[in-house]
Amino acid sequence: MAGYTVILPSAHVRHVEKTHGHDGKGQRPPQPEDYIHALACVNAADLLTPSTETGRGGQVRFVVFKEIDGETFRAVWEIRPNKKNRENRAIALVTLSIKTS
């Protein structure tokens, strides 16, 4: 996504680590290198859909799906506008899950 700054908020990364580990249904905990894949998912998504949820301040969210090496990455991103400069916006990772099967 050209023109967007990418943000990985620490609270959201902690949420991913605590919540999206092994769920007994083919999900694995993300590793540090998976966050690089999460960004690649945005740039070359297999499927990109609007989210039904918004951020606390009404920010628009979108969901990205991408299959990489037999695993399905699902990442939710939030668009964060810059109030001073509309052209300098950011996307922030909200959550990430990885299904292995």
The tens digit of pLDDT for each residue in 61-96 reads 999 999 999 999 999 999 987 766 566 688 999 989
- Residue matched to tokens 């695993």: 71
55 is a domain residue? yes
45 is a domain residue? yes
Count of other CB atoms within 10 angstroms of residue 30: 20
Domain boundaries, position 59: 19-99
pLDDT (0 to 100) of residue 15: 81
Residue pair 96/11 in contact (Cβ under 8 Å)? The answer is: no
1 is a domain residue? no
Instruction: Print burial letters for 31-50: b (CB count within 10 Å at least 16), e (below 16).
Output: eeebbebbbebbeebeeeee
- Domain tally, the chain: 1
Question: What letter represents residue 14's amino acid?
Answer: R
11 is a domain residue? no
Q: Global pTM?
A: 0.83
63 is a domain residue? yes
